[in-house]
Amino acid sequence: MVLNAREEILARLKSAPPASVAGRPELPPAREMALDAGQLAARFEEQLAAQGGIAMHAADETALLAKLEEILRQESVSRAMAATDAVLAPLALESWGQQVGIEIVTPSAFSDRDGYTRAVFDQVQAGITGADFAVAESGTLVLVHDELQPRLVSLAPLVHIAVVPRARIVPTYEAAILSLFDGRRPSQVTLITGPSMTADIQATPFKGMHGPQKLFVLLLG
Amino acid sequence: MKVTTDRFRQTALEELANARTQKFLQILPLRLSARRQEAYGSFSDPEAAHRLGQAIRGEALARLPELLETFERNALANGAKIFWAADSQAANRYIADLARSKGARYVTKGKSMITEELGLNDHLAQCGISAWETDLGEFIAQLLEKPPFHIVGPAINIPVEQIRDIFLEKGVLDQPTLDPVTLGRAARRFLRDKFRDLQMGITGVNIAVAETGTVINVENEGNIRFNKSAPKTLVCVMSLEKVVPTLADALHQLRVLCRSATGQAAGAYISLDSGPKKADETDGPEELHIVILDNGRSAIYQNRHTREALRCIRCGACLNACPVYGKVGGYPYGWAYSGPMGQVLTPALRGLAETGDLIRACTLCHRCKTICPAGIDHPGLLLHYRNKDVQADPLLQGRGADPRERLAHRLFALAGSRYTYWRIFSKVLSRAARLFGKGAMLRGLGPLGRGWFLSRDLPAPAKKSFHERWRQRKD
């Protein structure tokens, strides 16, 4: 039965009269391709702001941690969950949190999935992640989800703070994403452009419909 | 969802008289069209970007069977499970059986037109499984049992009082309020409880990538990401035309889709899934099921005209451009797909028997065709459907022409076949027009052609014809 449906559908499609494939128009390179590093960062920020995201700068790790503390205090966060991806791991946020008096937990602290799920849904007020890329053309963060970058950390808490080394800002989607699929298949890649938003009731826009109400992007370097 | 395509005329008349509908229609389509226009300005060459999007859809359709096989092979290699569903029943049965085998008492759904097409919620309810829509607009529309008003804002026209009442009734809201944000927060809390303990999530698919076996979803709220991240079982339902050749093609299509739908450079969340979560990953589905739905599409693929409807990427830009949608809104179209998108898709998928008004509610102004990022020739397709309808086409269940209309056309052809006949005919007609006409416009001919005059009028014919005046000229 299952096999039959497949065979029948494909057979019908294949028996259809063939259509020719028309040529494709040449696209001039995206405007972002002509930008230098500083302009790319500016373009990223401008596009992110258009979607309600907030970008901030930190010259080094010390400045970054100061900014992070400022945001967490301003948002009244007493407990946050942090991924342990390549950007965040060197920052040792768990022990930093102990010093400043804000509890930082990591997904690996939970022995089972249910405990982690309950924590990320209900017991933390912010999620902190790195990002694999920031795309200037649309102000978009690219997160590759793997064992160090669980999906719900950037989604379930009301505040999402992403740390992005400036060298990871690229002009276009192609520059970010095509390489991620070169010889591997990440189970999920998420493009994040601003906080969760809706305007479904009376066209009244508001942030934080299901996911974060606020998105902070800390540009490092 | 009840299908009411056969009540197009009645629903349209109701909506024309509905002040709230008219208020929204004066704002929403114009605003979305303007945003789209502005967003296209960020392309280095907007026209070329538009045409590239159309070419990608054209190639995807031309290579459809091959691309589907490639997609299937790669998705299986990624660890996904593939189910080919011949029709709604097969898809619904598969999804309900899966939910049962996972012990799911309820499921949640991301916004997807395809599951509305399936009537999945009703089927699951019959199996004792509740299905919760999680997009805010769809959630409200579901509670009120309304079809989508607009693909981008399914319940945007619903008065807050009505939302308050239904939220109170269904236990979504504790304290009455008319504040849209407070209502939204209540829905957030209610649905968050569903996400936390979720066994199985269901989403549609915006784009499927053949070369990587990836399914892509676009959204603004994050509900689709919850559906894809929280439960252990995920079902992604795709109509078989969603596949594109390469990841690069998908990236360009995302650009035109987001700009065309909401005028955004990118939706807040775009998720690309290639198989289930890997063993060492903390969250994400342990099983990813991809349902490839035919539901009549492989049949309409046989015809090079109707095939064109399958180009559609469901952006909704045509709704905002359409002068008819702009007056009547989404309800008269009577099913999951409204506006010109619905006018080309619904007859292809459901036949012409109950969609006769749909294919005629069009002025052939070509604005939808001009704006369509997928390259659909809506007016051409509607003329094709009208032709198939009067020809009583068996595949599309055309109804055949009304005998009175056929007789009128015969007589008209006869009158035009000889000069003497034509003179008599025009004399009689001009007399009749003077008899029934009021002032400068002719709005009916008594008992004749009532249906025709229902939405049309004519300038009243002159007292003397050109030929008569020519004969009587004085020079």
Could you tell me if B245 lies within 8 Å of chain A, comparing CB atoms? no
Residue A2 confidence (pLDDT) above 60: no
Q: Is B233 helix (H, G, I), strand (E, B) or coil?
A: strand
Residue A184 confidence (pLDDT) above 80: yes
Mean of pLDDT values over A58-80 = 98
Residue A1 confidence (pLDDT) above 60: no
pLDDT (tens digit per residue) in A6-55: 999 999 999 999 988 888 999 999 999 999 999 999 999 999 999 999 99
Measure the CA–CA gap between B40 and B150, rounded to whole angstroms: 21
**CB atoms near residue B152 (< 10 Å):** 22
pTM for this predicted structure: 0.94
Phi, psi of B311 (to 5 degrees): -65, -25
Tens digit of pLDDT per residue, chain B (475 long)? Answer: 789 999 999 999 999 999 999 999 999 999 999 999 999 999 999 999 999 999 999 999 999 999 999 999 999 999 999 999 999 999 999 999 999 999 999 999 999 999 999 999 999 999 999 999 999 999 999 999 988 899 999 999 999 999 999 999 999 999 999 999 999 999 999 999 999 999 999 999 999 999 999 999 999 999 999 999 999 999 999 999 999 999 999 999 999 999 999 999 999 999 999 999 999 999 999 999 999 999 999 999 999 999 999 999 999 999 999 999 999 999 999 999 999 999 999 999 999 999 999 999 999 999 999 999 999 999 999 999 999 999 999 989 999 988 988 898 999 999 999 999 999 998 888 888 888 777 788 888 878 778 888 888 888 888 788 888 898 887 6
Please report the DSSP string for B380-430 in residue order.
HHHHHHHHHHHTT-TTTT-----HHHHHHHHHHHHHTTSHHHHHHHHHHHH
Tokens of A195: 């906080």
Q: What is the pLDDT of residue B422?
A: 92
Q: What is the pLDDT of residue B341?
A: 97
Q: What is the pLDDT of residue B475?
A: 66
Measure the CA–CA gap between A188 and A143, rounded to whole angstroms: 8
Q: Which of A20, A188, A201 sits opposite B184 (nearest CB)?
A: A201
Give the start-to-end residue ranges of the domains of chain B.
1-34+315-400, 43-295, 403-471
Tokens of B376: 């659909």
In angstroms, what separates the C-alpha of B74 from chain A's closest C-alpha?
Answer: 10
Give the start-to-end residue ranges of the domains of chain A.
34-197+205-220
Sheet holding B269-273, edge to edge: A169-170, A133-135, A140-145, A188-192, B269-273, B214-219, B207-209, B243-244
Q: What are the chain B neighbours of A174 within 8 Å (beta carbons)?
A: 248, 251
Residue A116 confidence (pLDDT) above 60: yes
Measure the CA–CA gap between B201 and B235, rounded to whole angstroms: 6
> A152, A198, A217: which to substitute to probe chain B, counting the most B Cβ within 10 Å?
A198
Residue A134 pairs in a beta bridge with A141, A169
Please report the DSSP string for B416-463 in residue order.
TTSHHHHHHHHHHHHHHHHHH-BTTEE--BTTBTHHHHTS--EEPPPS
What chain A residue is nearest to B183 in terms of C-alpha separation? Answer: A201
User: For the domain bounded by B43-295, which CATH number is listed?
Assistant: 3.40.50.10420
Could you tell me if A193 lies within 8 Å of chain B, comparing CB atoms? yes
Measure the CA–CA gap between B183 and B174, rounded to whole angstroms: 10
Residue A3 confidence (pLDDT) above 80: no
User: For the domain bounded by B1-34+315-400, which CATH number is listed?
Assistant: 1.10.1060
Within 57-96 of A, beta carbons closer than 8 Å to B belong to none
Which CATH superfamily hosts domain A34-197+205-220? NagB/RpiA/CoA transferase-like (3.40.50.10420)
Measure the CA–CA gap between A180 and B443, rounded to whole angstroms: 65
